[in-house]
Structure 1
Amino acid sequence: MKEWNLNDLYTGYDSEAFQQDFAALDTHINAMNALAESLGQRDPHSTLKAIIEQLSAYQTLTRRLGAYLSLRQSANTADQQTVSMNSRFQIKTSQSALASTRFQKWIAAQDLDALIPGDPLFQQHAFWLQEIRSHAAHTLSDEVEDAIGKMELNGSNAWAQLQEYMTSTVAVTMDGQDYTLSSIRNLAYSTDPTVRKKAYEAELKAYDKIKDAVCFALNSIKGEANTVSELRHFDSVLDMTLFNSRMRKETLDAMFTAIDEALPRFHAYLRHKAELLGYTDGLPFYELFALMGKSTRTFTTDEAKAYLIQNFTPFSKDVAGIIERAFDEEWIDFFPRKGKVGGAFCCNLPMLKQSRVLTNFDGSLSDVVTLAHELGHAYHGHRIENHSPLNTRYSMPVAETASTFNETVIMNAAIRDAASDEEKMMLIESTLQDVTQVICDIYSRYLFETEVVEKRKDGFLFSDDLEDIMLRAQKKAYGTGLDHNQLHPYMWICKSHYYDAGLNFYNFPYAFGCLFAKGLYAQYQKEGPAFVDKYNRLLEATTVSSVEDVAAMAGIDITLPDFWRDSLAIVETMIDEFIALSAK
């Protein structure tokens, strides 16, 4: 079993380093609270300098401890020691909420335009300081901010852990054998249509065991989000999300305008695939990932490594180098197992100049693309690892830029080098599978969450209600492309993104990332190697710029539908090519 190595963080809970750092939390929190009590007693310049220095040290410490605890819990949600230690950590860190709020209020009240030019440290943190000023209108009283921080411990954080535990431990039975939810969902990529259908049916049946518990989790998290957004004087949870994402509503509207216009072409692709597979009423949900063509190529982890390095080296030796480090230095936890969370993610560790990647690798080409995606996040982390600790947070939309760019690089390379029309058709269709997920499926998730958040204001949504909302969202997003009698009413259970109260609407950033990255890749094809430096500077700016300003660095205006239409046109051309190749 190839698992990640966390020893560079800590060798265990009983290690001297972990014990010292965990104890140091109290020291840092006490120092922050003391500084918060003394605000106004010293001159603004020295006070601001002390705040930046204390917050930087505290963030480095908590990010290291928090990453270690989170990574261990993701790898084994049933680890009681980790669950207990994580709870202790969250209780401790919640004690810094009041000081942080006071710092932000004090900063917002200062004449930053006069302070920033006079000190290199302040200039380095100019965007961070100005962002705090813009958040002032949504910052509450000290007492309320403190209460919210403590409420989340036993509210949304606890409910999220319940969803994670239920979905990672539920037994899914197929042909008398028990599978994890992750491994049964991986069977959607099986080359055997009988296996794909049986896995889908077994998956749906398993949700009956956990749907009511997870239903309460979702209701509680979205109810809390509604309460917090109202308290902070936002018009809606989406409004709060866009504000925190450094993204304007007109950008989101422009993107969805273009997506709505393009949906019929995606529906045509799905109907054509359905016809090729022998279906007459659209594609059943369990056939979304059926591979078209006769290729049965699978990858070992070593073969995946070689394939990725070979295809990324022509674009950037730096990107290829991060991929090689990730494999060689045991950054990756590859395979599904009981207790391990599903899906995939990357955790950047700037204090180590490393990352850690979790996948549920099963050897398919799609799994290799997933690795490329997550290692794109690792490369993004590499580009910002020398920033100040306070300058390492990128917002949700641009968070998917490097990851989706990586996907585009690896799939375009594979398509370009295809040995035959049949292999080329298979690779194009594999790409269309992924893009359909981040256009149609993400759109369905956006529609679902929009309705859930709105209806949660007026009452509780039972599992039947959530299933109905999900089915209607899928019908609108997938249209006539899917068989409406063979959809997936439980997609709200297995998608962890719904259960992070700090990242509501963690769906549209995937569509943004996909289309933004495709537009950037088109520029790379025009400009060649000269584009790479521009790309690196763009990634480095994602933590200290708005989404619109990041795009402007590449000469793009994302508040207009035209850019999004051009990116979607690239995909529509692939759909036409797939239909033409499959007709042969």
Structure 2
Amino acid sequence: MEKMGYQKNWNLDEIFQGESKSDEFFIHLKRLEILLQDLQRCVNSFTTPLATNEVANLLKIVEDIGEVRIHLSQANSFITCLLAQNTKDQEAVSLRGKVAQLVSYFEKEVSKVKKVLANTKQDIWEVLIEARELEDYRFILNEWRENTDMHLSDEEQNLIADLMADGYHAWGHFYTALVGSINVKVQVEGEEKNLSVGQAINLRSHPIEEVRKESHHALESIWKEKEELFAKILNHIAGFRLQVYKKSGVKSVLEMPLKDNRLKEETMNAMWSVVSKYKRPFSNYLNRKAEMMGDSSMKAYNFWAPINNSVQKIGYDEAAELIINHISQFGTELEAFVKQAFHEAWIEAEDRANKSAVPFCAGFPLTGESRVFMTFGGTFLNVLTLVHELGHAFHNYAMKSVNGLNKSYPMSIAETASTFAEMIIFDAALKKAKSKEEKLIILDEKLKRSVMNFMNIHSRFLFEQRFYEERNEGIVSSSRLNQLMEDAIYESYDGSLEQPSKYSWVWTPHYYITKSPFYNFPYTFGYLFALSIFAKAKEKGKEFEKDYLNLLRDSGSMTAEDLVIKHLGEDITSEEFWKKGMALCVKDVEEYIKLTSSNDTK
């Protein structure tokens, strides 16, 4: 049989021919402008409904909003791909600015609609929203109405928006620029190198311990030197956010993140409760790995260390076949989709200069396609990254038939399909592993993800929660931030991590994202949720694929709680649900401990 050769460069011409000089893309932008003008005319004539016969007007507006959103998504995804494949594409940078203006224009019109809905009398609204024509939009319209801020006048909202652009968001940009400007001097195998922060952090997985250690201490020294400046940035971001919440009547700093993720607080609390009760198995894993490295406990700079210095290379074609074969064990529709992605060149995987360092999946809703971006270096970790992004692409595929207004799903659900795809590969790879050593390498990669979600992400949540409590009373000093971070890490890791970075609050960019606070708990939610779904899939076999697709399709039009009740028949406000996914992770620890019970790993 002739061996299949897969293209490493994606095909963007099927989307818009000509890349950043595409005439087709300029026509698309002109079409977008016309759609936005039409939307503006509709919005300007849309006043607070005074009667129940306004269904047609409301339906026209929501359909127009959905249409514009799809066209904007198509444009944004295209530019994201252009800039990722060539970070020096200045024409693409210019196009990004043009699309950003259209996005801002669109969001202002949507805000006007939300305000009108919020002003509608309750009795009229109850009749309107039950109209058959609005059935598909009922959830999101109710969400808009309930979550629209009515405490601020239009003038105050515009003022805050201006202050955010020039002040609040600027602090976030300043943080990114500051970190990007830092050089780190590190000795790497006898040679002193000037590295970026990202490059220095990447040395945490270097096979030589002395390199990992020196990189860790070099970074800690820089954070100590600049801690006062970073403390000011963090305090200003949090202070502004708290003032806006106070003006808007927001009572808790967790209120908005939970709404954005369509989660109840009791769901989040049930999840964290289970995580807290199952710290010991993962501490055991860390202790055993440390023991294998000749230490009594896991040093922070050794966490990402490979358990075996010999790295087995895997070619791209081999990786593609491996993914297709393993995915086929789950279901025929997922298998056919993954084959299409490889055969039709939806993946940019070439290892070359001037590419972005960040892997992603971009959805193109107008053409019903996706594009996956990464740099394939020939490792099993690269295989996992590739299948992770293909999982996101399959989620986009599942949403093809969904209207534009309901295609967007919250971050709490966003990592579900990607993590689920990883679990399929892990499960299949473990079954086919030919030696103890191969099994250990795979298990180690799985367990690193569990530790990150159950320990590291938990420490971020605890730190941010306690920081905001203290920031509400005034400025929090850098020394106090260090103490809060140390306490959170100790608690979340159950005391099993030695020499952790008390400056994690400095180099973790999520704390400085101005779009949303608590950019942490959704990761753990998505991870455990996917594991619970995977447990269900293992019970039902290939027949589960249909249920899985239906779950993904509904992910943009209901709360997380309702989604799981409808498709899995389970209550995620209960700890019992979260224990099912956790049980799979604990089983991984037990297998790891068993395999390392002797020095013979062959």
Q: Same fold (TM over 0.5)?
A: yes
Which shifted more, 53-62 or 4-13? Answer: 4-13
Which of 264, 279, 283 is 2:280 aligned to? 264
Q: Does 1:551 align with 2:564?
A: yes
Matches within 5 A, 1:445-464: 445-461=460-476
Which of 358, 365, 380 is 2:380 aligned to? 365
Q: Which amino acid aligns with 1:56?
A: G
Q: Does 1:125 align with 2:134?
A: no
Which of 528, 539, 560 is 2:552 aligned to? 539
Which of 553, 569, 573 is 2:587 aligned to? 573
Cα gap change, 1:507/1:519 in structure 2, threshold over 3 Å: closer, same or farther? same
Alpha-carbon contact 1:182-1:343 (below 8 Å) kept:
no
Cα gap change, 1:506/1:331 in structure 2, threshold over 3 Å: closer, same or farther? farther
Cα gap change, 1:344/1:28 in structure 2, threshold over 3 Å: closer, same or farther? same
Alpha-carbon contact 1:373-1:406 (below 8 Å) kept:
yes
Which shifted more, 20-29 or 348-357? Answer: 20-29
Which of 53, 66, 77 is 1:56 aligned to? 66
Q: Deviation digits for residues 118-176 of structure 1, max 9, x if unmatched?
A: 444x2222222222232246674333333444444334544444444555565444333
CA distance in 2, matches of 1:324, 1:228: 48
Q: Which amino acid aligns with 1:312?
A: I
Which of 252, 256, 268 is 1:240 aligned to? 256
Cα gap change, 1:372/1:535 in structure 2, threshold over 3 Å: closer, same or farther? same
Which shifted more, 250-259 or 362-371? Answer: 362-371
Equivalent residue for 1:141? Answer: 153
CA distance in 2, matches of 1:168, 1:418: 41
SS in 2 for 1:39: coil
CA distance in 1, matches of 2:261, 2:63: 25
Which of 502, 505, 508 is 2:515 aligned to? 502
Deviation at 1:566, TM superposition (A): 2.9
Alpha-carbon contact 2:370-2:396 (below 8 Å) kept:
yes
Q: Which amino acid aligns with 1:16?
A: D
Equivalent residue for 2:4? Answer: none
Q: Does 1:416 align with 2:408?
A: no
Q: Deviation digits for residues 404-461 of structure 1, max 9, x if unmatched?
A: 1112111111111221233223322221111111111111111222233334434445
Equivalent residue for 1:114? Answer: 127
Cα gap change, 1:362/1:380 in structure 2, threshold over 3 Å: closer, same or farther? same
CA distance in 2, matches of 1:2, 1:48: 46
Alpha-carbon contact 1:226-1:236 (below 8 Å) kept:
no
**TM-score (ref. length: structure 2):** 0.86
Deviation at 1:292, TM superposition (A): 2.7
Alpha-carbon contact 2:204-2:302 (below 8 Å) kept:
yes
Deviation at 1:401, TM superposition (A): 1.2
Q: Deviation digits for residues 328-382 of structure 1, max 9, x if unmatched?
A: 5554454788876655433333223223344465443233222222221111111
Alpha-carbon contact 1:383-1:540 (below 8 Å) kept:
yes
CA distance in 2, matches of 1:90, 1:135: 24
Alpha-carbon contact 1:91-1:150 (below 8 Å) kept:
no
Deviation at 1:313, TM superposition (A): 1.3
Cα gap change, 1:394/1:556 in structure 2, threshold over 3 Å: closer, same or farther? same
Equivalent residue for 1:522? Answer: 535
Q: Which amino acid aligns with 1:266?
A: F
Which of 36, 45, 52 is 2:43 aligned to? 36
Q: Which amino acid aligns with 1:267?
A: S
Cα gap change, 1:336/1:425 in structure 2, threshold over 3 Å: closer, same or farther? same
Cα gap change, 1:373/1:18 in structure 2, threshold over 3 Å: closer, same or farther? same
Q: Which amino acid aligns with 2:539?
A: K
Cα gap change, 1:203/1:90 in structure 2, threshold over 3 Å: closer, same or farther? same
Alpha-carbon contact 1:9-1:64 (below 8 Å) kept:
no
Alpha-carbon contact 2:391-2:418 (below 8 Å) kept:
yes
Which of 417, 435, 446 is 2:450 aligned to? 435
Cα gap change, 1:427/1:207 in structure 2, threshold over 3 Å: closer, same or farther? same
Cα gap change, 1:447/1:536 in structure 2, threshold over 3 Å: closer, same or farther? same
Deviation at 1:506, TM superposition (A): 2.0
Equivalent residue for 2:418? Answer: 403
Equivalent residue for 1:231? Answer: 247
CA distance in 2, matches of 1:420, 1:213: 50
SS in 2 for 1:351: coil
Cα gap change, 1:9/1:219 in structure 2, threshold over 3 Å: closer, same or farther? farther
Q: Which amino acid aligns with 1:430?
A: E
Deviation at 1:277, TM superposition (A): 0.9
- State the Cα RMSD in Å: 3.3
Q: Which amino acid aligns with 1:229?
A: Y
Q: Which amino acid aligns with 1:512?
A: F
CA distance in 1, matches of 2:100, 2:224: 32
CA distance in 1, matches of 2:152, 2:493: 41
Alpha-carbon contact 1:182-1:360 (below 8 Å) kept:
no
Larger radius of gyration: 2
CA distance in 2, matches of 1:301, 1:555: 40
CA distance in 2, matches of 1:474, 1:562: 26
Cα gap change, 1:356/1:506 in structure 2, threshold over 3 Å: closer, same or farther? farther
Equivalent residue for 1:153? Answer: 165
Structure 2, unpaired ranges of 5+: 1-6
CA distance in 2, matches of 1:505, 1:350: 29
CA distance in 2, matches of 1:359, 1:194: 29
Alpha-carbon contact 1:64-1:351 (below 8 Å) kept:
yes
Q: Deviation digits for residues 3-42 of structure 1, max 9, x if unmatched?
A: 6554425744543334344455554444333333322399
Instruction: Give the number of equivalent residue pairs.
Output: 580
Q: Does 1:200 align with 2:212?
A: no
CA distance in 1, matches of 2:88, 2:475: 29
Q: Deviation digits for residues 451-497 of structure 1, max 9, x if unmatched?
A: 333344344456555444333322221132211xx223444455443
Equivalent residue for 1:375? Answer: 390
Q: Which amino acid aligns with 1:386?
A: S
Alpha-carbon contact 2:207-2:309 (below 8 Å) kept:
no
Identity %: 29
CA distance in 2, matches of 1:2, 1:181: 29
CA distance in 2, matches of 1:349, 1:519: 29
CA distance in 1, matches of 2:274, 2:208: 36
Which of 526, 531, 537 is 1:513 aligned to? 526
Which of 256, 274, 280 is 2:290 aligned to? 274
SS in 1 for 2:556: coil
SS in 2 for 1:503: coil
Q: Which amino acid aligns with 1:17?
A: E
Equivalent residue for 2:3? Answer: none
Structure 1, unpaired ranges of 5+: none
Alpha-carbon contact 1:77-1:165 (below 8 Å) kept:
no
Which of 92, 97, 112 is 1:102 aligned to? 112
Alpha-carbon contact 1:168-1:339 (below 8 Å) kept:
no
